[in-house]
Amino acid sequence: MLKIGVLISGRGSNLQALIDACAGDEFPAKIAVVISNKPDAYGLERAKLAGIPTITVPHGTFSSREAFDQEVDRHLREAGVKLVCLAGFMRLLSEQFVRGWKDRMINIHPSLLPSFKGLNTHARTLQAGVKIAGCTVHYVRPEMDEGPIIMQAAVPVLAGDSEENLADRILVQEHLIYPAAVRLIAEGRVRVAGETCIITGSGKNSGISEALISPR
CA gap 161, 177 in Å, rounded: 23
CA gap 214, 162 in Å, rounded: 28
**Cα three-residue angle 11-182-208, rounded to 5 degrees:** 100
Residues 4-43 that bind ligand GRF (CB under 6 A): 10-14
| Nearest CB to ligand GRF, comparing residues 70 and 91 | 91
Residues 174-203 that bind ligand GRF (CB under 6 A): 174
147 in contact with ligand GRF (CB under 6 A):
no
| Nearest CB to ligand GRF, comparing residues 13 and 70 | 13
Q: Select which of 59, 75, 109, 138 is catalytic.
A: 109
By 3-state DSSP, what share of the chain in percent is helix, strand and coil, each rounded to 5?
35, 25, 40
| Nearest CB to ligand GRF, comparing residues 78 and 143 | 143
Q: Which of 18, 36, 88, 173 binds ligand GRF (CB under 6 A)?
A: 88
Cis peptide before 215 (omega within 30 of 0): no
Q: Which of 5, 110, 147, 179 binds ligand GRF (CB under 6 A)?
A: 110
Q: Which of 87, 93, 112, 150 binds ligand GRF (CB under 6 A)?
A: 87
| Residue 99 CB, nearest approach to ligand GRF (Å) | 21
CA gap 95, 108 in Å, rounded: 19
Of all residues in the shown chain, the one whose CB is closest to ligand GRF is 88
3-state secondary structure 95-112: HHHHHHCCCCEEEEECCC
**Is 138 noted as a catalytic residue in this protein?**
no
CA gap 26, 208 in Å, rounded: 21
Nearest to 210 by CA among 186, 171, 188, 181: 181
Q: Which of 38, 46, 109, 141 binds ligand GRF (CB under 6 A)?
A: 109
| Nearest CB to ligand GRF, comparing residues 70 and 90 | 90
Contact residues toward ligand GRF (CB under 6 A) are: 10-14, 87-88, 108-110, 174
